[in-house]
């Protein structure tokens, strides 16, 4: 068996687990009968371990199957990375299983392993991805995140997403209707069910902002892990917090008077836009910021454009209002 990087025959794709001795059937006893038929005692034990360690867990979690060998330096190096990443993702529904190809030739043959290392992701009895070329922690983490999301795999004991989604939708609708306090109550209840869900955390933070509880919202967002803070739902909540915190101390009447005397007083218009943002007048804020962009798009390092984009993110980039505002900005910038 060749180590990767050496000259070798072309490796065939992994045989789906829906065929051969690892075929999935409704009757587990018939699986065992077919799997062990005509095999030696050692081979039967190998298949039983595979069923127990891979097939059964893979019904509910993502199993990372690492075919490795002590003879391969590259294989041992990748296994160390897999150990670390799998430990970090164990609570998210990932399990690592290692197959020593020198000691378990039957399984290596069933998967047609011709080079090592070879790493597959298995779910519900079938290979769903080849992870062999993901050689760094960052690459593996990214791929695992994608697989967990696509396959809708949830940590053991977690509340099913199907129960959470309608409650989140209810909270969002309540917020859209302007009942911030009720929105806070709904999202608090959902957070008890899914304390680490970024959608729920982001919704609660935005509800707190809308209810005027900006200090609590900031504490909630500041307490998140670096990984959670990268989620788009958290970025939206942070934008909403910054928008709500943007109100100037100056009287808006004085700002309007300054603009009446000098329409190019961009600082006054910027502060007025901030006041409108904090007061919930998104249309008025957008108009003021776009007017600054129209008059001087590079004023203060593009501060008006940056604040405008922050306003859109707080609203939600997929919101129809945000889409319409982006088109207004594009019309200014590219005409």
How far, in whole angstroms, is CA 335 from its chain's centroid?
A: 36
Most confident range, picked from 89-98, 157-166, 283-292: 283-292
pLDDT score at 247: 63
CA pair distance 275, 272, nearest whole angstrom? 5
DSSP alpha helices (H): ranges in the chain? 28-36, 41-50, 73-89, 105-110, 137-150, 161-176, 180-193, 198-210, 214-222, 226-229, 232-244, 252-261, 266-278, 282-295, 303-315, 320-333
Instruction: Name which residue leads in pLDDT, 14 or 171.
Output: 171
Instruction: Name which residue leads in pLDDT, 282 or 152.
Output: 282
pLDDT score at 6: 38
pLDDT score at 91: 82
Helices 28-36 & 41-50 angle (0-180, nearest 10): 140
In this prediction, residue 165 has a pLDDT band, given cuts at 50, 70 and 90, of confident
pLDDT score at 203: 96
Provide the percentage of residues in the chain whose pLDDT is more than 70.
85
Contact 61, 94 (CB under 8 A): yes
In the predicted model, is pLDDT for residue 16 greater than 60?
A: no
* Prediction pTM value: 0.54
In this prediction, residue 5 has a pLDDT band, given cuts at 50, 70 and 90, of very low
Instruction: Name which residue leads in pLDDT, 281 or 34.
Output: 281
pLDDT mean over 184-198: 92
Contact 193, 163 (CB under 8 A): yes
The 10s digit of each residue's pLDDT in 216-262 is 999 999 999 888 888 899 999 999 998 888 766 557 889 999 999 99
The 10s digit of each residue's pLDDT in 85-134 is 999 898 888 999 999 999 888 888 888 888 989 999 999 888 999 999 98
Radius of gyration, CA atoms only, the chain: 28
pLDDT score at 18: 39
Q: What are phi and psi of 66, to 5 degrees?
A: -105, 110
DSSP alpha helices (H): ranges in 51-136? 73-89, 105-110
**Residue 54: closest CA among 1, 109, 107, 112:** 107
DSSP state of 6: S
CA pair distance 288, 298, nearest whole angstrom? 15
Q: Quote the mean pLDDT of the chain.
A: 84
Q: Encoding tokens for residue 198?
A: 């970024």
pLDDT score at 307: 93
CA pair distance 252, 273, nearest whole angstrom? 10
pLDDT score at 31: 29
pLDDT mean over 38-65: 87
């Amino acid at each position: 068996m060749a180590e990767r990087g050496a000259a070798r025959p072309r490796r065939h794709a992994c045989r789906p687990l829906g065929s051969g001795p690892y075929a999935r059937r409704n009757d587990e006893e018939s699986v065992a009968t077919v799997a062990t038929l005509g095999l030696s005692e050692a081979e039967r034990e190998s298949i039983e371990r595979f069923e127990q360690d891979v097939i059964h867990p893979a019904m509910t979690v993502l199993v990372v199957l690492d075919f490795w060998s002590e003879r391969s330096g590259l294989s041992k190096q990748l296994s160390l990375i897999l150990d670390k990443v799998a430990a970090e993702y164990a609570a998210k529904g990932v399990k690592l299983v290692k197959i020593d190809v020198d000691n378990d030739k039957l399984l290596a043959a069933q998967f047609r392993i011709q080079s090592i290392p070879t790493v597959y992701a298995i779910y519900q009895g079938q290979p769903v991805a080849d992870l062999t070329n993901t050689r760094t922690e960052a690459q593996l983490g990214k791929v695992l995140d994608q697989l967990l999301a696509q396959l809708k795999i949830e940590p053991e004991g977690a509340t099913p997403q199907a129960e959470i989604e309608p409650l989140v939708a209810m909270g969002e609708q309540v917020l859209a209707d302007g009942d911030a306090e009720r929105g806070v109550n709904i999202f608090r209840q959902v957070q008890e069910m899914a304390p680490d869900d970024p959608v729920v955390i982001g919704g609660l933070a935005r509800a707190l902002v809308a209810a005027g509880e900006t200090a609590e919202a900031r504490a909630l967002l500041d307490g998140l892990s670096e990984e959670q803070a990268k989620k788009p739902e958290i970025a939206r909540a942070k934008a909403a917090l910054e928008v709500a915190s943007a109100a100037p101390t100056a009287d808006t009447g004085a700002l309007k008077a300054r603009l009446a005397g000098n329409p190019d007083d961009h600082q006054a218009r910027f502060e007025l836009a901030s006041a409108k943002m904090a007061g919930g007048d998104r249309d008025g804020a957008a108009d003021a910021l776009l007017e600054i962009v129209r008059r001087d798009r590079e004023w203060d390092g593009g501060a008006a454009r940056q604040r405008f984009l922050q306003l859109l993110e707080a609203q939600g980039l997929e919101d129809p209002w945000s889409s319409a505002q982006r088109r207004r900005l594009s019309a200014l910038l590219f005409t």
